[in-house]
Structure 1
Amino acid sequence: MPEPDQCSWNSMIAGFAQHERFEEALVYFVRMVRNGFGVSEYSSASALSACSGSMDWNMVIQIHALVLKSPYSSDVYMGSALIDAYSKCGLVDCAQKVFDEMGERNLVTWNSLITCYEQNGPPSEALEIFVRMMDSGFEPDEVTLASVVSACAGLAAIKEGMQIHARVLKFDKLRDDLILGNALVDMFAKCGKVNEARCVFDRMPIRNVISETSMVSGYAKTASVKAARVMFTKMMERNVVSWNALIAGYTQCGENEEAFGLFRLLKRESILPTHYTFGNLLNACANLADLQLGRQAHVHVIKHGLQFQFGPESDVFVGNSLIDMYMKCGSLKDDKLLDIEPNNSGPYVLLSNMYAELGRWRDVGKVRKLMRQHGVVKQPGCSWIEIQSDMHIFMVKDKNHPERKEIYSLLKTILKQMKEVGYIPNVGELDICEEHNESEITSSNQLELPAVAALG
């Protein structure tokens, strides 16, 4: 085509985006702009979809700038596309800003923001947005309900999850919606309500590997490993998540040999293991205190690490599992172990906690010094508790909670009573961001107790 017009450019960009050829879609979008064609809502939406697929946050910002200069900057459809693109790229604040500045919103807009918080966190914000949406007169559809149910799963908010389930049953939303059904099964399973999960599962007219894997995981987490194995055996299709769920179940129940047997079957079926597979295998080695087996598992980690890249969170999980395994097997070489993740606080904290459990305070100080030298900062811990439908969130050494005086006063009373009945705090899990000696260790129990004190 010697001289493509606007429609031709739009069609090419949309075609590439729909076929998941994201980089080519963005290349054509840039070429279109450079050739003097204006951007339309159609080309912008397709380009934003390509940005979501490739997680190109920098291009999202540039397209957003073009949209702001266009006549359709206030278009509700374009606003929803921007929220979705920012969400997929993990830019939650940008997604919220777009939402706040929109003069008009529709159900898709609300769904995009709810999904943004459900996928990126905090999930509690997804529930708050859902309540605001209902107050604004919008009725949720299956997409809304699936996202809200997933947020409930992330919070283990079983009460809210059951309320959503009641709504699903009332309006017969489960009949043909596989995604919503899977979300409900997953939510009940994660909240330990495996019987309720099974009821939803049995009522689903259509199921897939996600539905069945959620049931395997639910059974495994509630120590019903035999039921998990039965479900796993009946599955017509399995993915690595299915295998991981059962391996984790065996490890958590102390059936470590079974976990290794399952791993061998996984390898035989040419399933590519993930960081979660290796993390659970290393935990099994730690449970058995089998150094030789642990070293073999470590070799597998190195071997597969060369074949595919672990993400940042994956590195933390595997690194922590390696440190835990070598510690429990009595073969600790911290200079080598910290090389696994030299810039992440997780391995340092785990290593320091284990030294403290052994009473090796000089080594605790050594780890703390290494953290300072590498510029590693431990992120403060966070916990929450729901009391009478109100969510109370606590950070470690929280000084901003409105009821902190009452909470810490009650906390002192609880600590005194604990000592009187002979409770000895676990000084292993200490706050290594502070300077402590053996007699001044602040235990994790003391840090967690504000949530308990709030119940008073």
Structure 2
Amino acid sequence: MISGFVRNGCFEKGVDCYYELVKEGRVRPDFFTYPVVLKACGCLSDGRKIHSWVFKLGYCLDLFVASSLLHMYSRFGFVGDGRRVFDEMSVRDLGTWNAMISGFCQNGKAVEALDVFREMCMEGVKMDSMTVSSILPVCAPLNNLDMGMFAHVYVIKNGLEFDVYVSNALINMYAKFGMLALARSIFDQMMVRDLVSWNSLIAAYEQNSDPIAALGYFVEMKRNGFQPDILTFVSLASIVAQSGDAENSKSVHCCIIKLDLIRGDIFIGNAVVDMYSKLGNIDYAHRVFDGMDNKDVISWNTLITGYAQNGLASEAMEVYKTMRECEMIVPSQGTLVSILPAYSHVGALRQGMKVHGHTVKIGLLSDIYVGTCLIDVYAKCGRLNDAMMLFKQVPRKSSVPWNAIISGHGIHGQGEKSLSLFGEMEEEGVKPDHVTFVSLLSACSHAGLIDQGQQCFKLMQEKYCIQPGLKHFGCIVDLLGRAGHLDMAYDFIKNMPVRPDASVWGALLGACRIHGNVELGALASEHLFEVDVENVGYYVLLSNIYANVGRWEGVDKVRSLVNNRGLKKTPGWSSIEVNNRFGVFYTGNRSHPLSEEIYKELKVLMAKIKNIGYVPDYSFVLQDVEEDEKEQILTSHSERLAIAFGIISTPPKTPIHIFKNLRVCGDCHNATKYISKITEREIVVRDSNRFHHFSNGDCSCGDHW
């Protein structure tokens, strides 16, 4: 009767039937009762009660009963209890070993699975296809290629290479290690392939950033008569995102809708949200998210990350806030890693500190990625000492936290400290990566450390065999350009082994703006408009160069280009937090309730700093107007409005912290130095490039910003 219920999926009735049997007491359960009823258990409490009966009746030593207990505990995630049952077994067959290994694997305990596998090998138990298929997926998470290759050799020696499940597992394993040639070789040798085989190969190329090859295998799969399933579409969504193929994204989405997959399946829904997010179509991503019947924590994480990566930090924070209101969703490590960069972007220190407290509470502070994101938050919110204290608490065997703290000191203008930290990193035996050198080169550029920057560029290639990428080349151009070596920077670009991108030409254009080189700036802008025609910031830079030398016809020409291409200049804004509330100021705006007092304070400040040597630099005004009007335009820049608001809203000599979405203009930079002197305040401004610590008439950047 119990078996009949279970075979027909009536698990609850099967368990009830068992309880009725025990309650009557007239018939004693036997060895055949427990494997069936344990399979039917719908909750751990039933499983534990039945286990107690097994123990009471002395059936623990029975191979099939013990194996069923092991399966039951693994199914509910209590694989440690299953291990205790396994250890107490006097006799184990191959199925029991496989059950214990797969139980650990299914519960994310790769190390323990590998330990059982080693015990199995030491006891001379011969593996079958199930054993190999279970153990291969844990090799990549443990970065244990040797174990995977040992299993592969065993497969060949014992004639298991033609088993479709084993071959699929081998393709997946080699793909995780980036060994695509081996993965393809195994696929080619398969005598029988199923849909999983094709999905494994497509995913192998997709996960190793080769979307063209992955798409080719998808076409070949269709040609061979295989119809795509959910996993195929998950890979396709990623392929489209990697290719930047916005047009085909809608085709993939339509196919998924036709098969009615997206509403009920979280996995495919998350993939589509991720696809649209990576293509920059965040509105579509949110629409798909809203249309999902079921959402898990990964769904929320994907949407938060999408907003953050598209520069919409405030929207990311709103999504996170809504997520926290959902009682069924518990933030994960991925959630914190998704939201913390958004807090860094807007300088939301208070919210970042709340997340810090939450990580301590749930024991995630030792997580290298969460810890690194918190270091980044503190550094980008101007709390460099706190960032350094946190850096000393997180695990530092990986380059990840080192990169964050090196970059943090770099954006604060402390290039020498960044170099010192790099020296400590080498002494501790941590191998730097390409991100480390981007952080180092950027730090040298911001601090004007030309020789040290060039030495780092050389060291990266000669000692660590890291081939420079476009970001490294861009940093060198920025380093030389900021220092006024424009010809050297241009020659460096011409000799690059790869085609320069927008970041490289943009660095040269920015340097031309600083040093007033109109001809080279125009040349750099021509190349820029070829590779990145829609970035309005580059048009603004070129317009600044023309305005700086009074070539208003050039300014008008650039404006016409902007208008004809339908581009809009990003409005400049600055924010300041006073009494736990954010005030946001836009250039020239007078809508603030204290607007009259702010402009009155600015008028007084401008008069005072002129008396001690400040002279307005009208080259930063892009309009061809009279000088008094130019001065009014400069005075109404967003950072000055925020500073004046901070002065009238806080006690004397209180530090002021400003966050600006664009780069600080040269005249505001100069004026703020004078304001810091006459007000005896420290004024900290974080612009889109770096931090400026103004104090007593000086800036931490040393004018290398």
> Please, what TM-score do these two structures have when normalized by structure 1?
0.73
Between the aligned residues of both structures, percent identity stands at 27
Partner of 2:500: 447
1:75 corresponds to 2:125: no
Partner of 2:245: 157
2:181 match: secondary structure: helix
Partner of 1:333: 417
The match for 1:46 among 100, 125, 134 is 134
Alpha carbons 2:285, 2:303 under 8 Å: kept: yes
Shift of 1:223: 4.3
Q: Distance in 1 between matches of 2:177 and 2:489?
A: 46
Alpha carbons 1:186, 1:214 under 8 Å: kept: yes
Residue 380 and residue 135 in structure 1: after superposition, are their counterparts in 2 closer, same or farther (change >3 A)? farther
Count of paired positions: 395
1:241 corresponds to 2:328: no
Matches within 5 A, 1:30-179: 30-31=121-122, 34=124, 37=126, 39-51=127-139, 54-179=142-267
2:404 match: secondary structure: helix
Partner of 2:450: 361
1:322 corresponds to 2:405: yes
Residue type of the alignment partner of 2:338: A
Residue 197 and residue 31 in structure 1: after superposition, are their counterparts in 2 closer, same or farther (change >3 A)? same
User: Which stretch shifts more, 231-240 or 348-357?
Assistant: 348-357
Residue type of the alignment partner of 1:27: R
2:227 match: secondary structure: coil
Alpha carbons 1:29, 1:47 under 8 Å: kept: no
Matches within 5 A, 1:247-396: 247-252=340-345, 255-256=346-347, 258=348, 260-269=349-358, 270-271=361-362, 272-273=364-365, 274-277=367-370, 279-280=372-373, 290=382, 293-305=383-395, 312=398, 315-316=399-400, 318-331=401-414, 332-339=416-423, 341-342=425-426, 343-344=431-432, 345-356=434-445, 359-368=448-457, 370-371=459-460, 375-381=463-469
Alpha carbons 2:413, 2:446 under 8 Å: kept: no
Q: Which runs of 5+ in 2 are unaligned?
A: 1-88, 481-485, 503-526, 534-705
Q: Distance in 2 between matches of 1:97 and 1:224?
A: 44
Alpha carbons 1:338, 1:348 under 8 Å: kept: no
Q: Distance in 1 between matches of 2:313 and 2:180?
A: 38
Q: Distance in 1 between matches of 2:165 and 2:475?
A: 56
Residue 379 and residue 172 in structure 1: after superposition, are their counterparts in 2 closer, same or farther (change >3 A)? same
2:492 match: secondary structure: coil
Alpha carbons 2:371, 2:394 under 8 Å: kept: no
Shift of 1:140: 0.7
Residue 197 and residue 18 in structure 1: after superposition, are their counterparts in 2 closer, same or farther (change >3 A)? closer
Shift of 1:336: 1.6
Q: Distance in 2 between matches of 1:53 and 1:221?
A: 26
Alpha carbons 1:319, 1:340 under 8 Å: kept: no
Q: Distance in 2 between matches of 1:89 and 1:169?
A: 33
Alpha carbons 1:156, 1:191 under 8 Å: kept: yes
Alpha carbons 1:213, 1:241 under 8 Å: kept: yes
> Please, what TM-score do these two structures have when normalized by structure 2?
0.49
Shift of 1:163: 1.8
The match for 2:118 among 5, 8, 27 is 27
**1:336-383: per-residue Cα shift (whole Å, max 9, x none)?**
22135434244334433543565543333443465477x122324279
Shift of 1:201: 1.1
Alpha carbons 2:273, 2:286 under 8 Å: kept: yes
Residue 28 and residue 194 in structure 1: after superposition, are their counterparts in 2 closer, same or farther (change >3 A)? same
Q: Distance in 2 between matches of 1:51 and 1:157?
A: 33
Shift of 1:279: 4.9
2:392 match: secondary structure: helix
User: Which stretch shifts more, 271-280 or 320-329?
Assistant: 271-280
Q: Distance in 2 between matches of 1:77 and 1:94?
A: 16
Partner of 1:198: 286
Q: Distance in 2 between matches of 1:329 and 1:356?
A: 12
Q: Distance in 1 between matches of 2:138 and 2:372?
A: 33
Q: Distance in 1 between matches of 2:369 and 2:92?
A: 49
Q: Distance in 2 between matches of 1:268 and 1:285?
A: 13
Residue 102 and residue 264 in structure 1: after superposition, are their counterparts in 2 closer, same or farther (change >3 A)? same
Alpha carbons 1:213, 1:242 under 8 Å: kept: yes
Q: Distance in 2 between matches of 1:128 and 1:340?
A: 47
Residue 279 and residue 66 in structure 1: after superposition, are their counterparts in 2 closer, same or farther (change >3 A)? closer
Q: Distance in 2 between matches of 1:250 and 1:18?
A: 35
Q: Which of the two has higher C-alpha Rg?
A: 2
Residue 244 and residue 349 in structure 1: after superposition, are their counterparts in 2 closer, same or farther (change >3 A)? closer
Q: Distance in 1 between matches of 2:208 and 2:304?
A: 25
Residue type of the alignment partner of 2:354: L
Residue 193 and residue 340 in structure 1: after superposition, are their counterparts in 2 closer, same or farther (change >3 A)? farther
Instruction: With a CA cutoff of 8 Å and minimum separation of 6, indicate the structure with the bigger relative contact order.
Output: 1
Q: Distance in 2 between matches of 1:217 and 1:347?
A: 23
Shift of 1:139: 0.9
Q: Distance in 2 between matches of 1:43 and 1:223?
A: 46
Residue type of the alignment partner of 1:327: G
2:423 match: secondary structure: coil
Alpha carbons 2:174, 2:183 under 8 Å: kept: yes
Alpha carbons 1:357, 1:427 under 8 Å: kept: no
Q: CA RMSD in A?
A: 3.7
**1:51-106: per-residue Cα shift (whole Å, max 9, x none)?**
45644321221121121133442222221121123334444332222112223211
1:428 match: secondary structure: helix
Q: Distance in 2 between matches of 1:371 and 1:111?
A: 38
**1:371-417: per-residue Cα shift (whole Å, max 9, x none)?**
477x122324279xxxxxxxxxxxx99xxxxxxxxxxxxxxxxxxxx
1:166 match: secondary structure: helix
Alpha carbons 2:198, 2:221 under 8 Å: kept: yes
Residue 140 and residue 267 in structure 1: after superposition, are their counterparts in 2 closer, same or farther (change >3 A)? same
Shift of 1:49: 4.2
1:117 match: secondary structure: helix
Partner of 1:417: none
User: Which stretch shifts more, 16-25 or 2-11?
Assistant: 2-11
Residue type of the alignment partner of 1:192: G
Residue 117 and residue 72 in structure 1: after superposition, are their counterparts in 2 closer, same or farther (change >3 A)? same
1:214 corresponds to 2:302: yes
Alpha carbons 1:25, 1:50 under 8 Å: kept: no
Shift of 1:208: 1.1
Q: Distance in 1 between matches of 2:168 and 2:469?
A: 34
Residue type of the alignment partner of 1:448: D
Shift of 1:184: 0.8
1:442 match: secondary structure: helix
Q: Which runs of 5+ in 1 are unaligned?
A: 384-395, 398-423, 431-435
